[in-house]
Structure 1
């Protein structure tokens, strides 16, 4: 910046003063060198100022270009009401995740930091280092989380052409939005982790995934989601097997009071404690009522629980849970084990006889046999276990089998681990099991018979949990190594290294700045420039190679007209652009650059914004902003615009044309106003496109204007073109009137309209024959667009029709100006509200 201000002539017009600027820059370079070496302290401070990123302190929002540093505990976002905090949370040894938590820790633990209630995490399966990691909102509108190695651990993959901001709301929602339009680019409510907060929509694309344990926040084995049959389900997705365990898989949906006949797949928890799902799954909290903090969480044990507390900081209380007996949850104790539950002592896991724990710290891994599964004839016995049931993996179900038949059938199968023998509905049922999973104690009339080698057969069984062993993984702290090896360097040597690096950094930066200024100032040939240059008009000149890369070889065509073909592309700065390749024109480069320069100066909210151009060899290309909703023609064909949107589009289009005719520095005629040249942004706001290249005139050339050929599109052109009359701004007024008639009637003016006597007439003539000034209101229903199905604002549609008929008068002097059209629409629009 110092180099720039020392040479003010560059900021005005660099070419006439290049000699003086060279002298100034040479003097500046020498002065800077002397100053830097005479003041090393300033040098070091400047180097730190250059390389240090901007950072944000405590607030509820983060602006683009700012970051939250993991090394600054005060770098957090706190919601306006102080309910939630977002920041880096320690999850292991020098391991952190960016998370959202309730600001007030639960009072049930003296360690408030360890007892924070986490409701969302960005990178729980890939924690970052405790040093030099940060969350940054880039100027492109993308939110990224970088590790110490500068790798992107997590990103929202968003972009915004306008300034963006990140805000933490009192609802617990972290929202990235466009500051100008308030459009939400990304929000944490759309990608929950293990918790659903009040008024947070739960949709078909969302999934709640449990944590691995109470202290391990990585993704666990349990999921709550909407299945393809539109039912809200709980799934155990273990390392080897997966199974649905809620609603009860043994019953069909209607036996579980669920309905599959709703494809919306949505659910919502309100602040009072009522949960409603589209599949008829509903429940009320035991403490139903207002003034409670609530959260619905799928816990690491696979149970879904609704927690609440009356005041911030109090202990959480379970006010609803999916299972009163946690042992029916699949995978809770792992394979080859049995779960038992006592309300007073809690859940316990036990290995089956002949089996031992696979990992003494984690019951989810289950138990492994102490023997080999190679049974010879007569080598197996069956151990009787009472009131125990295993889920699924039946080889088959055999009814009315005697015990002897059932035992014989299991011995005949090499992979039979035992069999369930129960009495139900007056018959005995035999179920040989190939896997022993989700075992639990159950009040059933029957037994389970475990197949064991004779050497491991027990005369009496007392299944108890192994002593001195962890019964779950809830107390295990997983250390994720994120340590640095400290180098042993003395302080003087370290100071000299920093000093040398600072000198080098500043010199390199100055060289780059000076070289860049000289290159952009004194270069005379476009072919010698790689990338794009900032031209005197304020927008950019692109190379053909750059635009070819942006469009992937001009592969995605989004529009085509008489002037050229439009392609969708992504520029180097990640902006999405509409790139129009003009048909090979007769005009030279100087004429094209003059016209492009004029278009670049035009700036209005209802005119398409031009970002740059390319004039390289025979290539003439214009680069515009990209409109998400395409053209008005496309939306009229798909019947998605209601009467209110059409009225607003008519007003916005009129404003844009009025600016071209009467307000901008040059007198600009569009000459081809039609629905294809009216584009719609994300909010359906219209922007007139393809203006200016047809004809650009100074205002004093109005009387002498002439065109060598008819311009425009059949059905929209004014009579002046046909009768070779002088062309004025009234040709655009006529075309605009035809466009409005098309919006009101839904009829394409390029096609003839059949009248009552069978004669084919133009749209304007057909309407004039059908209507007059006195009966427009009474006959609106006969001409209005049928797609409205009778749902439209009668007054606004009548206003549009009257204005349009005024615009398409044969006599150009009888037509209003576009500013008069705007005034009339705005006045009557307010009166009709």
Structure 2
């Protein structure tokens, strides 16, 4: 019991130590994460990493993985991005795990900007591991896709850099799109840093003039694998190994190719809550190629750090980005006499030479450059170790830097007419960074063309719906009208079965002037004199009691109408009945005599006297004044059958 209590206490303590988050542990088939829901985030079990949509601008998002450190006061540290070069819209963009097993990222619900290109018939799920690896796998554990195989600018511990992968820097500090610097294995199995600029490419680490052995590298191992471990050791298959300054301690670490072209190893300092640089590959920032662009000079100042400037006679091409370099203010002529040279001491532009010309004098090197119209200048230095000079005519001025350690000079070709004005006019420019710091993406969301068939079907459906509404209203009106008609016995306009009109109480009250002129009284009620709108005079009886039901009341009303009809005057039928009855009473002594009086002479000799007597007697009974004296149908049938039976007997 004591052990169980200790175990429960330990579990509660562990639960309190775990980070509180509303993030999803996994993404399954048919589900998605949306840019419009900030809570749509995947979280690693240890709470160190998160994956979701990260805002990289105004209404621009990338699906990314980031460290949950630093705190909320500082931006999260991005370690991977799916769509760094094509941010998606902040509305209707989703990362969806399709039922086919493919993981896709759609922009504004219009088109797919990124996909894992996977396929699986079995159930799959997307998980974020404690290592920061985003993995798409089956429930059995088979990995279909993982982010470690597609790094961006960061290598995490236990993540391998291989022959098929590379690290690519960001464009700038706040621009996460792909930059110009890449860490990769070349075809000689060496781990290299490459500048892949707008127009040219060049390798700058390790130094290109060093052979692999002098750089401490080996080309023998063809596996081409580099990895960073948890203790701070970075090792490569070309025998390049480096240890961080704080190696030997398990920390959160990351190796990055930064936007300035340098490789750095970062360690998380828990006490200060920040990242510290524990190692970097290049100590001199001006040794990084392309840092100041074409015709630019990099200077490393101890107090202020790296600075870029344009060579004399040149101006900055893009005041927001040094990678575009500088452009000339003049046009060079192919005429030798129209060109002159400016001396730039301790300035080197590496690479892009017409050739190497050893033991050339300064005059020879000058004439050599003037022979080519596209010669921009030449590098000239004296090799004290070998005792001769070196001449390097330049077609392009790239990777320029100024250093007192460089024992050479650059002779820059300029128009002779402007040579004196350009002397000592190396211009320094400052970046004109926009306060907004945003770039509008050149992207248009074309509205889909309307489908004619869909429009026709929609109009048909709307018309059909409108027709149904009209029919419903008509039926509803008819029902209301029927209900009103059903109450006509109270309001008065339906004809009765007898053909007599029914009057409403209001009409009768108006005809009798409020039942004011009484003309008679009986047990059932009081009779009043009434005059209708057509000047007809009527006797209107107001019943004292009406306790019976509505149908009984209507039946009584109908019977009263029949009685009234009988009393109005004698019809032809009634006179016939009276005449037959009188003949019978007068000649009752001899049946044959009175019957012969009433039978049609045409029927003489064609009827039976007994049967005719029964028929006439039965007819007279059916028209008796008293309804109780009239025979029923069963009695009529019995009377007819009795005569037939007597006849056969």
- Taking structure 1 as the reference length, the TM-score comes to 0.49
Superposed CA deviations along residues 147-188 of structure 1, whole A, max 9, x for unmatched, are: 114311110011112110000011110000011x20100000
Following the alignment from structure 1 to structure 2, what is the Cα–Cα distance between the partners of residues 422 and 249?
19
Over 3 Å counting, the alpha-carbon distance change for 1:262 and 1:202 in structure 2 is same
Which of 130, 134, 137 is residue 97 of structure 2 equivalent to? 137
Instruction: Tell me by how many angstroms 1:476 deviates.
Output: 4.0
Match of 1:438 in 2: 399
The reply to whether residue 461 of structure 1 matches residue 424 of structure 2 is yes
User: Could you tell me whether the CA contact under 8 Å between 1:93 and 1:480 is conserved in 2?
Assistant: no
Instruction: Tell me by how many angstroms 1:464 deviates.
Output: 4.3
Following the alignment from structure 2 to structure 1, what is the Cα–Cα distance between the partners of residues 235 and 55?
35
Over 3 Å counting, the alpha-carbon distance change for 1:168 and 1:80 in structure 2 is same
Following the alignment from structure 1 to structure 2, what is the Cα–Cα distance between the partners of residues 154 and 117?
22
The reply to whether residue 61 of structure 1 matches residue 42 of structure 2 is no
Match of 1:334 in 2: 293
Match of 1:175 in 2: 135
Instruction: Tell me by how many angstroms 1:377 deviates.
Output: 2.6
User: Could you tell me whether the CA contact under 8 Å between 1:95 and 1:481 is conserved in 2?
Assistant: no
Match of 1:480 in 2: 441
Which of 428, 450, 466 is residue 412 of structure 2 equivalent to? 450
Over 3 Å counting, the alpha-carbon distance change for 1:396 and 1:330 in structure 2 is same
Match of 2:314 in 1: 355
Number of residue pairs matched by the alignment: 429
**SS of residue in 1 equivalent to 2:213:** helix
**1:592-631 matches, cutoff 5 A:** none
User: Could you tell me whether the CA contact under 8 Å between 2:169 and 2:259 is conserved in 1?
Assistant: yes
Instruction: Tell me by how many angstroms 1:231 deviates.
Output: 0.6
User: Could you tell me whether the CA contact under 8 Å between 2:91 and 2:108 is conserved in 1?
Assistant: yes
Over 3 Å counting, the alpha-carbon distance change for 1:469 and 1:160 in structure 2 is closer
User: Could you tell me whether the CA contact under 8 Å between 2:348 and 2:408 is conserved in 1?
Assistant: no
Instruction: Tell me by how many angstroms 1:309 deviates.
Output: 1.6
**1:312-331 matches, cutoff 5 A:** 314-331=273-290
Instruction: Tell me by how many angstroms 1:473 deviates.
Output: 9.7
Match of 2:366 in 1: 407
Over 3 Å counting, the alpha-carbon distance change for 1:95 and 1:246 in structure 2 is same
**SS of residue in 2 equivalent to 1:316:** strand
Match of 2:79 in 1: 119
Instruction: Tell me by how many angstroms 1:412 deviates.
Output: 1.2
Superposed CA deviations along residues 173-222 of structure 1, whole A, max 9, x for unmatched, are: 0000011x201000000000010001101111111111111111111111
Following the alignment from structure 2 to structure 1, what is the Cα–Cα distance between the partners of residues 435 and 181?
15
Over 3 Å counting, the alpha-carbon distance change for 1:208 and 1:240 in structure 2 is same
User: Could you tell me whether the CA contact under 8 Å between 1:105 and 1:313 is conserved in 2?
Assistant: no
The reply to whether residue 231 of structure 1 matches residue 190 of structure 2 is yes
Over 3 Å counting, the alpha-carbon distance change for 1:370 and 1:464 in structure 2 is closer
The reply to whether residue 208 of structure 1 matches residue 167 of structure 2 is yes
Match of 2:375 in 1: 416
Instruction: Tell me by how many angstroms 1:401 deviates.
Output: 1.4
**1:563-582 matches, cutoff 5 A:** none
Match of 1:344 in 2: 303
Over 3 Å counting, the alpha-carbon distance change for 1:251 and 1:484 in structure 2 is closer
Instruction: Tell me by how many angstroms 1:279 deviates.
Output: 0.2
Following the alignment from structure 1 to structure 2, what is the Cα–Cα distance between the partners of residues 376 and 254?
47
**SS of residue in 2 equivalent to 1:120:** strand
**Structure 1 stretches of 5 or more lacking a match?**
1-55, 487-496, 508-833
Superposed CA deviations along residues 648-705 of structure 1, whole A, max 9, x for unmatched, are: xxxxxxxxxxxxxxxxxxxxxxxxxxxxxxxxxxxxxxxxxxxxxxxxxxxxxxxxxx
Over 3 Å counting, the alpha-carbon distance change for 1:473 and 1:402 in structure 2 is farther
User: Could you tell me whether the CA contact under 8 Å between 1:213 and 1:474 is conserved in 2?
Assistant: no
Following the alignment from structure 2 to structure 1, what is the Cα–Cα distance between the partners of residues 211 and 251?
36
Instruction: Tell me by how many angstroms 1:313 deviates.
Output: 7.5
Match of 1:249 in 2: 208
**1:262-277 matches, cutoff 5 A:** 262-277=221-236
Structure with bigger RCO (C-alpha 8 Å, 6+ apart): 1
Q: Which has the larger radius of gyration?
A: 2
Instruction: Tell me by how many angstroms 1:385 deviates.
Output: 0.4
Following the alignment from structure 2 to structure 1, what is the Cα–Cα distance between the partners of residues 79 and 436?
20
Taking only aligned residues, the RMSD between alpha carbons, in angstroms, comes to 2.5
Instruction: Tell me by how many angstroms 1:129 deviates.
Output: 0.7
Match of 1:289 in 2: 248
Match of 1:94 in 2: 59
Following the alignment from structure 2 to structure 1, what is the Cα–Cα distance between the partners of residues 82 and 170?
13
Match of 2:610 in 1: none
Instruction: Tell me by how many angstroms 1:447 deviates.
Output: 1.2
Over 3 Å counting, the alpha-carbon distance change for 1:74 and 1:267 in structure 2 is same
Instruction: Tell me by how many angstroms 1:480 deviates.
Output: 2.7
Instruction: Tell me by how many angstroms 1:462 deviates.
Output: 4.8
